[in-house]
Amino acid sequence: MNTDLGDYRESYEKQELLENNVSDNPMEVFQKWFLEVDENFDVGETNAMTLSTLGLDGFPKGRVVLLKKYTYEGFIFYTNYESEKGRAIANNPNVCLSFFWPAAERQIIIKGKVEKIAENLSDGYFESRPRGSQLGALVSHQSEPIENRDVIEQRLESLEKEFEGKEIPRPEFWGGFIVKPVEIEFWQGRPNRLHDRLRYQLDEEFNWNLDRLSP
């Protein structure tokens, strides 16, 4: 197999990113970009982000997860704490998040440290999920090998009967993480591959410092 993709090219010309039109706080820039993309571009799930961790095997691994909340403090997502990514985070809390919105020619790369959120917050979000998603959290021993699809279908059927007419409790192994950023880079595509890249870094006094990176 020899497939040449050298002719795959796009010219990025929609917008610009300049220092004089961004906030001193990158979380405010994130909110502005997120809302602009969500309201004006057809990107599917605007909150889809790639979470990269360093695995127990020493290899980095990225996978797409869904952002469920963001605040000045950081970015919150939910998962199985005993999954491959959960175990990787427990071993090394330094992670990277990335958003890529090609329709807007924008990318955001976030370095941060992960912490579990409070149990009552995980409880509240779990209660808001559709019943099928609640059962799904109980059914799946995430990242563990299974013999075939029938295994999880049978587990689901069994749990549907067990909890028929009952409230479904949040399992202890499932809940939220918050990524507290230490660096956020905003990337805006520009013509001739001379893209705009603005990077915010958090210093020891918890102030954000802004610089421009060469494309």
Position 58 scores a pLDDT of 96
Position 13 scores a pLDDT of 84
Interval 30-38 mean pLDDT = 98
Is 193 known to be catalytic? yes
**Which pLDDT tens digit goes with each residue over 93-115?**
999 999 999 999 999 999 999 99
**Which pLDDT tens digit goes with each residue over 184-202?**
999 999 999 999 999 999 9
Query: How confident is residue 4, by pLDDT bands cut at 50, 70 and 90?
Result: confident
Query: How confident is residue 142, by pLDDT bands cut at 50, 70 and 90?
Result: confident
Q: Take residue 188 and report the two structure tokens written for it.
A: 């805006």
Position 8 scores a pLDDT of 83
Interval 167-183 mean pLDDT = 97
Question: Catalytic residue among 87, 131, 149, 193, which?
Answer: 193
Phi, psi of 127 (to 5 degrees): -65, -25
Query: How confident is residue 89, by pLDDT bands cut at 50, 70 and 90?
Result: very high
Q: What is the third-level CATH fold of 19-125+174-212? A: Pnp Oxidase; Chain A (2.30.110)
Position 143 scores a pLDDT of 86
Length of the chain: 215
Query: How confident is residue 28, by pLDDT bands cut at 50, 70 and 90?
Result: very high
Which residue type does 5 have?
A: L
Position 173 scores a pLDDT of 96
Look at the alpha carbons of 177, 43, 25, 64 in this order and tell me if their dihedral is positive or negative: positive
Position 7 scores a pLDDT of 82
Position 121 scores a pLDDT of 97
Could you tell me if 182 and 201 are in contact, meaning their C-beta atoms sit under 8 angstroms apart?
Answer: yes
**pLDDT above 90 (res 127):** yes
Give the mean pLDDT of the chain. 95
3-state helix, strand and coil shares in percent for the chain, rounded to the nearest 5: 30, 30, 40
